[in-house]
Amino acid sequence: MWHNETNWRFQMSRFKLIFLSLALSITAISAWAGQITLKSTTSTVELVGDLKSFDNGIYIIETELGELEVDARTVTCSGASCPKVQSLSSKISILGEQDLLNQLLIPLLESYSFSLDANVETKTINKTQSTIKVINQGGQEYASINVQSKSHKKLNDQATNAKDTLVITSSTLEMLAASAKDGGVTPLAADALIAITSDTNSVKTISLSALQDILSGKISNWKDIGGPDISINLYLPKDASALQSIAKEMGYEASKFAKSQQFDSLKELSMAAASDPYGLGFTNYSNLHNANALAISGGCGAYIKPSTFNILSGSYPIAYYHYLKTSSEATPIFAREFLTYLESSQAKDAINQLGYPSLSVFESDLDDQGNRIAYGLLATSKTVPVTEYRAMMNVLIGARQLSTVLRFKAGSLDLDVQSSAALEALVSELFLGNYADQTLLILGFTDADGSTGENKRNSKAAAKLISRYIKDADSGNQLMDLQINAQGFGEASPLVCEDTPLGAATNNRVEIWVKDKN
């Protein structure tokens, strides 16, 4: 239902673009004097007021109702102070790293344009620059877009003060949150750093410390990570690539002492690793292609695979995000409506089809989680009573886990950045009735530190806290009929080993499951 509401907003934008008029881009004029009349192009409604400004196709007028913003495409203007249109097309600049532009943003831009029954004309200027024109079936231009590729470092330094500029970049969730404070941010997709091999390679898991040692040159033979006594053929992205920059930010910098073959193309890197029985590639999840992705293992033997569900739930440890940065000021109309489209289910489906995990809520059946009990025995040195496992499984049988997994900041009752966003998205889904016929199971889990009884109490308290967050958000009593079952199972179901602080933090969580009502 949330998607339906977003789709409605998107279809209205589409209707306006096709049937009303084109985006109006003019030089901003901030000082106006005089009264104007704005008349709707689809009804008899008129607005009379003093024009305060006209920028990027938006009238701002002072009326008896107060200050109003009016989309110029939906009205005609009469009066001596009406602005003169200088262009009928939105002028936009898009900056980004080459792979993200070609593999994600430009296909999304094309998808949006085609949804408007518009054609896309692309002209290459040079290796780093091109222009895209979006033109409707009648030959009218909706937008003229200048696309330029830049390095990851330059993109991070790029100011987004210009109202006509969109910047696509990547970073950790913490850096994304910091960027949001400086201007507009539209998250697009999640991703993750992964180690890849050929399917014929006998090594199927790798520890984070071993991965760091391979990248630093300390490990160069497969025997040191459980493989045959033969050298590792290491395949890496180019030193100046966006992926190398992100990896460095996350503590996985490739050293000049690590003998490697470097690639401009992540797809070619993946293909090379997939075809080499002794090759190990370092890339991202969205460029896995036909290679085998190694699971991340801990000292206890438990491991976590890189998958869309594990990345979005925060269980896979080295994830990051792709997002758009925009000015906090008004952007051209075409850009604004493109940003609205990116929130729609059509865009999220397109992102998934492009090989990126979209920021949607995914589901996983209990049948897909056969390691839960095994990890309960492997990941901790404590003995958890069988009755706890039985109680947990009685609750989980027939249920489906959502990728909404919530964690708190260390020593705090506040959710971390990722969890806050995930909970907000879940509440939106609940308000629109997506799980109205389901029981919502809110299940708390802890690490093994502390007594079994204390951990069970703490995990139940965390689950009840999330339940209260959801109910407190329901100021309009829309969720009165929603059945919520909050329970805590302590350390009964660890996801990963607890031999590092990160492992313990990963296991301290609240999971959201849904189950058919009895």
Could you read off the pLDDT of 463-501 as tens digits, one per residue?
A: 999 999 998 888 878 888 889 999 999 988 888 888 888
User: How much is the average pLDDT of 408-424?
Assistant: 85
Bridge partners, residue 408, by sequence: 415
List of residues 6+ apart from 167 with CB closer than 8 A: 94, 95, 96, 155, 158, 160, 324, 325, 326
Regarding whether 498 and 381 lie in a shared domain, the answer is yes
Q: Is residue 3 part of a domain?
A: no
List of residues 6+ apart from 393 with CB closer than 8 A: 373
Regarding whether 390 and 341 lie in a shared domain, the answer is no
Regarding whether 331 and 183 lie in a shared domain, the answer is yes
User: What number of other Cβ atoms are within 10 A of residue 64's Cβ?
Assistant: 7
* Whole-number pLDDT of residue 478: 83
8-22, 74-88, 150-164, 419-433: segment of lowest average pLDDT: 8-22
* Whole-number pLDDT of residue 379: 53
C-beta separation of 255 from 162 below 8 A = no
Type of residue at 294: L
The torsion defined by the Cα of 456, 459, 464 and 468, in degrees rounded to 10, comes to 160
Regarding whether 379 and 422 lie in a shared domain, the answer is yes
* Whole-number pLDDT of residue 404: 94
* Whole-number pLDDT of residue 24: 37
CA 12 to chain centre: 25
Regarding whether 501 and 369 lie in a shared domain, the answer is yes
Regarding whether 370 and 412 lie in a shared domain, the answer is yes
* Whole-number pLDDT of residue 107: 97
State percent of the chain over pLDDT 90: 51
Assign 50 to helix, strand or coil. Answer: strand
User: How much is the average pLDDT of 212-231?
Assistant: 96
User: How much is the average pLDDT of 145-168?
Assistant: 78
Highest mean pLDDT among 223-232, 381-390, 470-479: 223-232
User: With 50 as the cut, is the pLDDT of residue 334 above it?
Assistant: yes
- What are the structure tokens assigned to 131, written together? 């222009």
Tens digit of each residue's pLDDT (9 = 90 or more) over 23-69: 333 334 444 568 999 998 778 999 999 999 887 778 899 999 899 98
Regarding whether 278 and 212 lie in a shared domain, the answer is yes
CATH (domain of 49): 2.30.30.100
The per-residue pLDDT of the chain, averaged, comes to 85
User: How much is the average pLDDT of 114-136?
Assistant: 93
With cut-offs at 50, 70 and 90, classify the pLDDT of residue 19: very low
Q: Is residue 437 part of a domain?
A: yes
Q: Is residue 465 part of a domain?
A: yes
Domain containing 62: what range? 28-83
Regarding whether 345 and 300 lie in a shared domain, the answer is no
Residue in this structure with the two tokens 């593999």, named with its chain if needed: 103
State percent of the chain over pLDDT 70: 87
Residue 318 Cα distances to 67, 284, 488, angstroms: 47, 10, 27
- pTM here is 0.83
User: With 60 as the cut, is the pLDDT of residue 18 above it?
Assistant: no
User: With 80 as the cut, is the pLDDT of residue 394 above it?
Assistant: yes
CATH (domain of 293): 3.40.190.10
User: With 70 as the cut, is the pLDDT of residue 323 above it?
Assistant: yes
- What are the structure tokens assigned to 271, written together? 């293909």
User: What number of other Cβ atoms are within 10 A of residue 501's Cβ?
Assistant: 10
User: With 80 as the cut, is the pLDDT of residue 330 above it?
Assistant: no
Regarding whether 492 and 384 lie in a shared domain, the answer is yes
Does 256 or 8 have the greater pLDDT score?
A: 256
Does 321 or 326 have the greater pLDDT score?
A: 321
Regarding whether 260 and 348 lie in a shared domain, the answer is no
Does 283 or 503 have the greater pLDDT score?
A: 283
* Whole-number pLDDT of residue 233: 98
Domain count, the chain: 4
Q: Is 245 left (phi over 0), alpha (psi -120 to 50) or beta?
A: alpha
Q: Is residue 4 part of a domain?
A: no
What is the per-residue DSSP string for 77-136?
EESTTPPPP--SSEEEEEEE-HHHIIIIIHHHHHHHHHHTT-EEEEEEEETTEEEEEEE-
- State how far the Cα of 411 lies from the Cα of 290, in Å rounded to an integer: 42
* Whole-number pLDDT of residue 390: 85
User: With 60 as the cut, is the pLDDT of residue 15 above it?
Assistant: no
Regarding whether 372 and 270 lie in a shared domain, the answer is no
Q: Is residue 149 part of a domain?
A: yes
* Whole-number pLDDT of residue 263: 95
